[in-house]
Every structure is written in structure tokens, then in C-alpha cells.
């Protein structure tokens, strides 16, 4: 432990602490709490029962009331710590509650019923996970369907993005042909037309080609990303033309050159684009919100928003489904984060 501390607090040249070092560590540790805290709080809350979510002040960890099966009763009974009239406290199981009087039994002597004022009892709690928060919405409220839709959209959009963008990037980096600059300019121009600007006409185009209220209607408009074409083109420009010419000498067709030479060599850039595309498409919200109207086609994001917008907000389900929605990007973060950060630092795309 002291080795860890001395490693973390080591200073170059062994000089003492400067006030900027203090600021640095306060900022970093504060950042750690502010950046991860909300997500951790969400995860902890998602395992709490509705009764526990309503508590104020809240507990950090999820607890459940301990229960016990008592001889003579079919259902498991909730255990309480009870303050007895003589000042001692006992653990009793509640049989039923009538007004402010609770009828309780001793689990070890189930024959005798004791009547207790409810003010004198507190539930016995243990750390436990309310997993039904996850099971119920997935099984009964379409969320499994939403999950499937999201996976389908993300997967298909990413595959198509990789294929079409890499083909276009190949043509734009390895061929000289009339109109190449016009094509490049058009693609640059796309950067100026974000979705929110063409929302209305795009909706009518998608309806006109019969894709309204279908998953393909949210996949196709997103796949011709200018950033993807740029990223891949920049990378392909670094592949030497001699390599392509050598293959042409060996009678390789242009398609084979693209498929067997350029694509494998561009794998690092393709990987970065794939990661980006997965995150983009998984997180898409506004466009699916506009295009989808049938509930069974909703993606997780839209389903979650609709569910959270209901009059009677069922937070215990929403929190759990928010965690489910978060899982893929957390996996990306844990395993692939360095590819993304180097991609952004290199090209400034997002």
C-alpha cells in the first residue's frame, strides 16, 4: 500500500509538493467522483426495491427485507426487530397488519401470536439485489424486443457503413477520375447538414421510399457518414500505390485489389470506424424517435424515453433498463477506449 502511495505521489527530481500538485490531485480525484459517481449511483439504485427508492435519506447499497419461512404459514414472512414492552428486543415475523397493530410470531415458537404497535418494529434488512427490476421489464414490457431492435440496427448499420465508406474511400484515394473533387466537396458539404436541419424533408423522403416506421428507415439514412469516408481515405492514402501496381502486374482485378489488399491493410482504420459506428448507432435518439411509431419497433433509447415520459414514472424499472442500455458502451469503454481516444486525437471526429 505504501508502495502504491509513494508511486502515486512521486515527483520528478524528488522535489516537495507545490500548490499546483495539490490542485492537480484535487481535480483528478474530484473528476473521478463526478465522472463515474453518477453512473455508479444509477447502478446501485437500479437494484433497489420501489420502497427503498422512495426512502430519504437514501442508502448507498441496495437492501431487501429479510424473510423467513415459519411453520404453519405458506408464504415467507418478513422479519422485524421488535422492541418488547419489557425493554428487550426480539426478532419476530409479521403475520398480518391490522391498522397500527401488527400480529407477529416468533419463528422458533410459531404457535403464539404477539400483538405489537407498528411504531415498535423495524424491518431486518440485508444487502440484496432486487433483480426483478430487470426481469419484469425485459419479460413483460417489450424491453427484450427493444434490445433486439437496437442490436439489429447497430449491427446492420455498422456493417453497411464499413462496406460503403471503405469502397468510397478506396475510389477517392486510389483513383484519379473526372469529378473527384466535386465528390469530395459534396461529402465535405454533408458536414454542414446535420440531422436536425433536414428533419422534416428527410422524414418525407423516408416515407416516400416506403421506409417509414421500419428499422431500415433508421439504418439507411445514417450509413453514408462523411467522417467515416474521411477517416478511411486519410488512412488509405498512406498505403503505397506500388503495392497496388504490383498486384495489377499479377493480373489482379480492381475488386480483388480492394478486397484482398487495401481492406486488410486498412484494418486499423476500419476498426476505429467500427467502434465509432457502434457507439453512434446504439446511442441514436432523435431520428428513431421521428421515424418509429409502432411500439414493437422501438429501439432501447426510444423505448426508454417513452417509458420515462409516462405520467406515473416507474423508476425502479427505468433505472434498471438504463443500466441495460449503458452496458454496450461501458464494454466499449473498458476494452476499446484507447482506440477511440487515439482516433479523436488524430482526426478530431466524434
Q: Under rule CB under 8 A, which residues in 85-144 are in contact with other proteins?
A: none
User: Could you give the string, one character per residue 137-176, with x where binding to other proteins holds by CB under 8 A and - elsewhere?
Assistant: --------------------------xxx-xx-xxx--x-
Residue 70: phi and psi, rounded to 5, are -115, 135
Q: What is the DSSP letter of 78?
A: E
Instruction: From residue 180, give the alpha-carbon distance in Å to each of 173, 188, 255, 259, 279.
Output: 10, 12, 19, 21, 30
Indicate the residue among 7 and 112 with the shorter CB distance to other proteins. Answer: 7
Which residues in the 183-212 window bind other proteins by CB under 8 A? Answer: 183, 186-188, 190-194, 196-209
Contact 211, 205 (CB under 8 A): no
- As a whole number of angstroms, the distance between CA 11 and CA 143 comes to 51
Residues 94-126 as b/e (b if ≥16 CB within 10 A, e otherwise) read bbeeeeeebebbbbeeeeeeeebeeeebeebee
Q: Is 19 in the site for other proteins (CB under 8 A)?
A: no
Q: By CB under 8 A, name the one of 1, 3, 34, 98 that touches other proteins.
A: 34
Which residues in the 233-262 window bind other proteins by CB under 8 A? Answer: 253-256, 258-259
Q: How far is the CB of 319 from other proteins (least distance, A)?
A: 6
Q: By CB under 8 A, name the one of 22, 38, 237, 238 that touches other proteins.
A: 38
- As a whole number of angstroms, the distance between CA 212 and CA 297 comes to 11
- As a whole number of angstroms, the distance between CA 155 and CA 297 comes to 16
Q: Is 337 in the site for other proteins (CB under 8 A)?
A: yes
Largest CA distance in the chain: 101
Q: Is 69 in the site for other proteins (CB under 8 A)?
A: no
Indicate the residue among 106 and 254 with the shorter CB distance to other proteins. Answer: 254
CA quadruple 282, 286, 290, 296: dihedral, nearest 10: 30
Ordered DSSP codes for 24-41? HHHHHHHHHHHHHHHHHH
Indicate the residue among 122 and 337 with the shorter CB distance to other proteins. Answer: 337
Which residues in the 293-312 window bind other proteins by CB under 8 A? Answer: 301, 304-305, 308-309
Q: Is 318 in the site for other proteins (CB under 8 A)?
A: yes
Q: Is 315 in the site for other proteins (CB under 8 A)?
A: yes
Q: How far is the CB of 125 from other proteins (least distance, A)?
A: 19
Indicate the residue among 102 and 277 with the shorter CB distance to other proteins. Answer: 277
Q: How far is the CB of 153 from other proteins (least distance, A)?
A: 13
Amino acid at each position: 500500500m505504501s508502495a502504491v502511495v509513494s508511486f502515486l505521489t512521486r515527483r520528478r527530481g524528488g522535489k516537495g509538493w507545490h500548490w499546483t500538485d495539490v490542485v492537480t490531485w484535487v481535480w483528478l480525484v474530484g473528476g473521478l467522483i463526478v465522472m463515474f459517481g453518477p453512473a455508479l449511483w444509477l447502478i446501485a439504485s437500479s437494484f433497489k426495491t420501489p420502497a427503498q427508492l422512495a426512502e430519504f435519506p437514501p442508502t448507498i447499497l441496495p437492501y431487501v427485507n429479510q424473510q423467513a419461512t415459519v411453520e404453519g404459514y405458506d408464504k415467507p414472512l418478513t422479519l422485524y426487530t421488535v422492541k418488547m414492552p419489557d425493554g428487550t428486543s426480539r426478532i419476530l415475523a409479521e403475520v398480518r397488519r391490522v391498522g397500527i397493530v401488527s400480529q407477529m410470531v416468533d419463528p422458533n415458537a410459531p404457535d403464539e401470536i404477539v400483538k405489537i404497535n407498528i411504531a415498535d418494529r423495524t424491518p431486518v434488512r440485508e444487502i440484496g439485489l432486487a433483480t426483478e427490476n430487470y426481469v419484469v421489464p425485459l419479460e413483460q414490457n417489450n424491453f427484450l424486443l427493444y434490445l433486439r431492435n437496437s442490436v439489429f440496427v447497430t449491427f446492420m448499420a455498422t456493417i453497411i457503413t464499413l462496406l460503403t465508406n471503405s469502397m468510397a474511400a478506396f475510389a477517392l484515394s486510389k483513383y484519379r477520375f473526372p469529378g473527384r473533387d466535386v465528390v469530395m466537396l459534396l461529402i465535405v458539404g454533408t458536414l454542414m447538414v446535420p440531422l436536425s436541419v433536414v428533419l422534416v424533408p428527410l422524414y418525407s423522403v423516408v416515407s416516400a421510399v416506403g421506409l417509414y416506421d421500419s428499422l431500415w428507415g433508421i439504418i439507411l439514412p445514417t450509413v453514408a457518414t462523411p467522417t467515416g469516408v474521411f477517416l478511411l481515405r486519410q488512412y488509405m492514402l498512406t498505403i503505397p500505390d506500388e503495392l497496388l501496381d504490383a498486384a495489377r502486374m499479377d493480373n489482379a482485378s480492381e475488386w480483388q485489389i480492394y478486397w484482398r489488399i487495401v481492406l486488410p491493410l486498412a484494418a486499423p482504420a476500419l476498426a476505429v470506424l467500427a467502434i465509432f459506428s457502434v457507439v453512434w448507432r446504439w446511442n441514436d435518439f432523435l431520428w428513431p424517435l421521428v421515424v418509429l411509431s409502432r411500439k414493437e419497433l422501438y429501439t432501447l433509447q426510444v423505448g426508454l424515453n417513452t417509458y420515462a415520459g409516462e405520467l406515473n414514472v416507474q423508476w425502479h424499472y427505468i433505472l434498471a433498463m438504463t443500466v441495460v442500455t449503458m452496458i454496450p458502451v461501458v464494454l466499449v469503454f473498458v476494452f476499446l477506449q484507447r482506440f477511440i481516444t487515439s482516433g479523436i486525437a488524430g482526426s478530431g471526429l466524434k
